[in-house]
Structure 1
């Protein structure tokens, strides 16, 4: 359910899988961005602007997205990509990434494996403090965002990368858990880096109930009551390009597809069960 927040970084080079492994989010690693070995201190940062063209399945996001007749919408965004680590502790933010913001501590790192304790949001709030008039004019109660604690494990093969995350909500929003896996691969064509990502996300029943059930008090002529949310699966797939325009400037573009496979696909808070996003950004590397 998470809609596109956070990813990538600075200097372009093919992702290096030498010893020790660069512990990092797979969305960044597969793009061949700047990296720091897990046993060293330091960081990297780039900032830029981007534009996306997307189609959302969430009722009221963007505003007036309340039926299947609502199509695509443009959006400008601030593209922040960076990571800082010190004695095993790290914080990372990749604005175009599937997983986005993470903070934590590296437990294990060798030539092929990296295991981290991480804290991260998985679900972002709906109708909370974002001035969404469609939600504010409805009877729906806000759904707060969550914050989760768990384990991230990354495996680096010479031909591909794998990431698995097991996370439990500790914010008290829904007390549910999430299990996700991503498989990634990249290719270098001269200065152009191409990548593919694909994976599955499992959300427990508690998360589905909190975000997608609709109580009788919230029901209206446009939103019917709903209490059938279950544990469910979602799928992600992404194709992207990264190209260094100049020494300190980099262009990135990607297309991402998300499919809600089960659990909440019949909720009235979903206009349909697919999300699409095309995005393009230019960033300055510090």
Structure 2
């Protein structure tokens, strides 16, 4: 009972943050060498808030391939001993992570963590806000947000980090697995900080078919039944930050994701890639 209640609480928290801020499959700043997800002495926390202007394209059919607007950038990191909760929306690959540090020695780390991997969508498209039913998606079933739990192995270097994750859906959304690998590097230059990273992810057939497959009940003359195998994606991320004052920071970022043919061939996918860029300001408390 306690185990089920804990999973339900973490999943509900993930959905709350993800439904407000997330529009694609992402994860948190755990991917970078200066992440805050490390054991602390007692209780510790910090946060920042700001806003940015973004432009992005969507991989779903029927959605304008160009979208722009303003969005809130919020980061909150809370830790107690080996437990942590981190929500990072400054990095474009950011998201909610809860976890426990099992090992943190000699630049190696092993964690148990939970996170949202894929944003949900329905016949109205992605995101919390929408403009009604999209004709090309009309009649598809709702795809829910997932919540995945697993292990993460990390090796830190001076300004770089490499990590490997195996995660399994515990929300009952697709009951599949996700494997992430990511290499990142931070380059300080004068007052600038440049962050770059590249990653490869693999998704089980259960994951791929839940989000991108088409069941018989969803099929139409122009949307055939579609079932496939496990899939992959490649991600590239670049960020730049510059402190304008003691408290204000300028930020800019670019995130590009490319999907394998198992996703690209889906009848509800318009293109095998997605790009997003933003510029903004954040206030560090």
The TM-score range, normalised by the shorter chain, is 0.7 to 0.9
* Post-superposition CA distance 1:106-129 (Å, at most 9, x none): 111123111111111111110289
2:27–2:117 contact (8 Å) kept in structure 1: no
Look up the match of 2:105: 110
Which one of 83, 86, 90 corresponds to residue 84 of structure 2?
90
1:154–1:161 contact (8 Å) kept in structure 2: yes
Which one of 68, 80, 96 corresponds to residue 74 of structure 1?
68
State the Cα distance separating 1:212 from its structure 2 match: 0.8
Look up the match of 2:55: 53
Give the match's secondary structure for 1:228.
Answer: coil
C-alpha separation in 2, matches of 1:218 and 1:107: 44
Kindly report which structure 2 residues correspond to 1:113-132, keeping only aligned pairs within 5 A, or say none.
113-127=108-122, 130=128, 132=130
Look up the match of 1:38: 39
Corresponding pairs, count = 257
C-alpha separation in 2, matches of 1:49 and 1:158: 30
User: Structure 1, unaligned stretches of length 5 or more?
Assistant: 9-24
* Post-superposition CA distance 1:122-165 (Å, at most 9, x none): 11110289464235871111011111110122211225211211
Under a length normalisation based on structure 2, what TM-score does the superposition of the two structures give?
A: 0.83
Look up the match of 1:11: none
State the Cα distance separating 1:46 from its structure 2 match: 0.1
C-alpha separation in 1, matches of 2:153 and 2:109: 6
Give the match's secondary structure for 1:134.
Answer: coil
2:194–2:241 contact (8 Å) kept in structure 1: yes
State the Cα distance separating 1:217 from its structure 2 match: 2.1
Distance 1:135 1:117, change over 3 A: farther
1:7–1:80 contact (8 Å) kept in structure 2: no
Under a length normalisation based on structure 1, what TM-score does the superposition of the two structures give?
A: 0.83
Give the match's secondary structure for 1:80.
Answer: strand
C-alpha separation in 2, matches of 1:7 and 1:232: 21
1:57–1:273 contact (8 Å) kept in structure 2: yes
1:208–1:264 contact (8 Å) kept in structure 2: yes
* Post-superposition CA distance 1:229-262 (Å, at most 9, x none): 2101100001110111110111111111100023
Look up the match of 2:148: 148
Higher helix proportion: 2
Which runs of 4 or more aligned residues in structure 1 lie more than 4 Å from their structure 2 counterparts after TM superposition?
A: 4-8
Distance 1:179 1:229, change over 3 A: same
Give the match's secondary structure for 2:117.
Answer: coil
Look up the match of 1:158: 158
Give the match's secondary structure for 2:218.
Answer: coil
C-alpha separation in 1, matches of 2:65 and 2:187: 33
Give the match's secondary structure for 2:209.
Answer: helix
C-alpha separation in 1, matches of 2:197 and 2:165: 15
Give the match's secondary structure for 1:124.
Answer: coil
User: Structure 2, unaligned stretches of length 5 or more?
Assistant: 1-21
* Post-superposition CA distance 1:205-245 (Å, at most 9, x none): 00011111112321235x51232321011000011101111
Distance 1:87 1:159, change over 3 A: closer
